[in-house]
Amino acid sequence: MAESEQSESQVDIYPLLGSDSPFSEAIQGFQPRIVQQQLAKKIEIVVNANHSLVAEAGTGIGKTFAYLVPAILSKKTIIISTGTKNLQDQLFHKDLPKVCKSLDKNPQTALLKGRNNYLCTYRLEMTIADGRLGSRQASHDLQLARRWSSETRNGDLAELINLADDSEIRSKITSTHDNCLGQDCPDYDDCYVLLARKKARQADILVINHHLLCADLALREEGFADLLPDTEVVIVDEAHKLHDVVTQFFGKSVSSRQLLELATDMRREYLSEAKDCRELDDYATEIEQNVKEFRLALGEKAQRIAWDRLRNKKPVIEAIDILMELFKKLVQILEPLSSRSRGLESCYDRCELLQAAFLELTTNSSMDMIHWCETWLRSFQIHQTPVNISKTFNEQWKNHGGSWIFTSATIAINGELNHYQSEMGILEAETLLLNSPFNYPEQALMYLPKELPEPSSAEHPIELMKAVLPVLRASKGRAFCLFTSYRALQMAAEWLSENGQFKVLIQGTADKTELLRRFREYDNAVLMATSSFWEGVDVRGDNLCCVVIDKLPFAVPSDPVIQARITACKRAGEDAFAKLQLPQAVITLKQGAGRLIRDHSDRGVLVLGDPRLVSKNYGASFINSLPAMYKTRNIELVKGFLGEIS
């Protein structure tokens, strides 16, 4: 680094985020926070020293600005990875431009998402020409996409705000690694994915998500060309989400969706390139039928189950044999046709890969991998998931080099970060733990209701609602009730709808955005929800002054992935509860509890409905990992506190 650049990167961070900060004029309500300045200073030191850092930054610290300021001033090439597309868009379109403008800096910035977030104009035209859609809604969505396609400059489906996340059209107007035609695509020169990747390679600061980051690491491990440019600094925001994404990308899977997409593309190629080969259309139909039969062989109900519990069942063995025989026939018919078009060549290549993957995933097992299956109403996916990713990630982290910053509001357990470091294989990283600047003893109250039944009791959801009803009346609704299961949610919602005078909003009756809109609009709403509302939901002010959590969020021990990891811990002579189950539950509880206080002026009550917090020794680990707030079992204190708010 040149001497002038070195001196500029070591500008005193504190004034930039202090009372005379350039952000004071640019951002309404900006307030200096000592903890934000401390985080920014530590990141500056770590980045300049080419070291790595794991940092928990409690809610309200303003960690985004705390890493953006030193990152921009460092003049190094930077990747910022987020756990969600919402934060990715917020960061790129709002926070990053705001910080650059306030610092009077103009780095080249770029946003990059996975290819399934970008319009594929070729597949759009093919879908329009095909005309066969499953519903009126799909036809409506296709017309939306068609009109938007003539207006968009980036092809990012996030611009198409009226297209639902689960619309069947999404997969028909985007490409996958499997079905992309590459340079043989007639629209190759105008490809939005290639345009986004070109901008990414030219950027000083690139904003991505964890899926892309892990896809790049997986490609590098396999020796293929990298997906992302080499950079000097990687900032991992929402770092608590990274472990699950790494696990996904360093595992293997095959799904009914991949098979059905192959059938769709085979039929499309038959109509356009191979009308003399009617067998192609017949085999596409046969794939669709055999996928249905294979799904039925796995059992009627939706489930997550160890593959060993299915693999030796007669219907499953027969269904596997039928599909493997079909793969052989498909390879034979597609091979001579593959020279006719890039589309047919792609179908042939995919068929060979799916044949190999399906064979491996229905037969082989390994001590290092968890072999399991997931089924839904009409679909399935077979997985091999790593038991432990710490060694793999450690190697990728070291091979990549540079400085890595891992930050989140919820990665510490009992004031320690070693669990996260051990889980990710980054024990050599420096650490920093900064508590929220919010005044929790004044702003929040923790209520632990008395005499509730054990959480395993069938009566628990109803008894909890009875105990919580006086709290909800005192708060005049304005509450989130968060549950660990859909069954408990449904029982509690039914009881509250009959016995409370509130507008009860129930997850599943509308999409997440619409439910939050209604919650903010009504003045007495109670939102009843499960896992998807435990994090990433931000309601500030008097609209939300109570959060109820029904149970300690321990993962279901019968889940095949959890079960296999528990077994691996026991095999290694380790305490699976202390090493695996307890830390995960603590982090999840912190995320749910974090919905309550989102601003310096917020006040509210956190109700924890699990008696194990008091009756079990491990309850202290949960309490000590939450922000310090006054605890009570006295309902009158709770009502008095809420009366002050209203």
pLDDT digits (tens, 9 = 90+) for 523-572: 899 999 998 899 888 888 889 999 999 999 999 888 999 999 999 999 99
Both 547 and 631 in one domain: the answer is yes
Contact 58, 627 (CB under 8 A): yes
List 567's β-bridge partners, or say none.
none
H/E segment holding residue 325: helix 314-337
Both 224 and 100 in one domain: the answer is yes
H/E segment holding residue 234: strand 233-236
pLDDT at 275 over 50: yes
Question: What is the tally of structural domains in the chain?
Answer: 4
What is the Cα–Cα distance from 44 to 61, expressed in whole angstroms? Answer: 16
What is the Cα–Cα distance from 418 to 426, expressed in whole angstroms? Answer: 9
Mean pLDDT estimate for the chain = 91
What is the Cα–Cα distance from 203 to 197, expressed in whole angstroms? Answer: 10
Both 35 and 61 in one domain: the answer is yes
Per-residue pLDDT, 223: 53
Q: How far apart are the first and last CA of the chain?
A: 57
Both 400 and 527 in one domain: the answer is no
Both 543 and 400 in one domain: the answer is no
What the block records as the tokens of 241 is 């989400």
What is the Cα–Cα distance from 614 to 595, expressed in whole angstroms? Answer: 23
pLDDT digits (tens, 9 = 90+) for 338-371: 999 888 999 999 999 999 999 999 987 788 899 9
What is the Cα–Cα distance from 331 to 347, expressed in whole angstroms? Answer: 9
Per-residue pLDDT, 200: 93
What is the Cα–Cα distance from 641 to 639, expressed in whole angstroms? Answer: 5
Both 9 and 129 in one domain: the answer is no
**450: nearest Cα among 595, 230, 571, 610:** 610
What is the Cα–Cα distance from 620 to 384, expressed in whole angstroms? Answer: 35
Both 459 and 593 in one domain: the answer is yes
Residue 138 is given by DSSP the state H
Both 324 and 336 in one domain: the answer is yes
What is the Cα–Cα distance from 187 to 178, expressed in whole angstroms? Answer: 17
Taking each helix axis from N to C end, the angle separating 342-363 and 256-273, rounded to the nearest 10 degrees, works out to: 160
Q: What is the β-pairing status of strands 78-82 and 233-236?
A: parallel
Both 494 and 636 in one domain: the answer is yes
Contact 524, 478 (CB under 8 A): yes
Three-state secondary-structure class, residue 501: coil
Range of the domain at 122: 115-194
Both 182 and 215 in one domain: the answer is no
Both 471 and 402 in one domain: the answer is no
Phi, psi of 77 (to 5 degrees): -80, 135
Banded model confidence at residue 268, pLDDT cuts 50, 70, 90: confident
pLDDT digits (tens, 9 = 90+) for 67-108: 999 999 999 999 999 998 889 999 999 999 999 999 999 999
What the block records as the tokens of 534 is 């435990």
pLDDT above 90 covers what percent of the chain? 76
What the block records as the tokens of 514 is 């619409």
- Average confidence (pLDDT) over 213-230: 75
Taking each helix axis from N to C end, the angle separating 256-273 and 121-130, rounded to the nearest 10 degrees, works out to: 70
pLDDT at 220 over 80: no
Contact 213, 79 (CB under 8 A): yes
What the block records as the tokens of 88 is 């990715």
What the block records as the tokens of 643 is 């009366």
| CATH, residue 266 | 1.10.275
pLDDT digits (tens, 9 = 90+) for 594-611: 999 999 899 999 999 999
| CATH, residue 555 | 3.40.50.300
Q: How many residues would you count in the chain?
A: 646
Query: Comparing 137 with 165, which gets the higher pLDDT?
Result: 137
What is the Cα–Cα distance from 90 to 207, expressed in whole angstroms? Answer: 10
Both 526 and 446 in one domain: the answer is yes
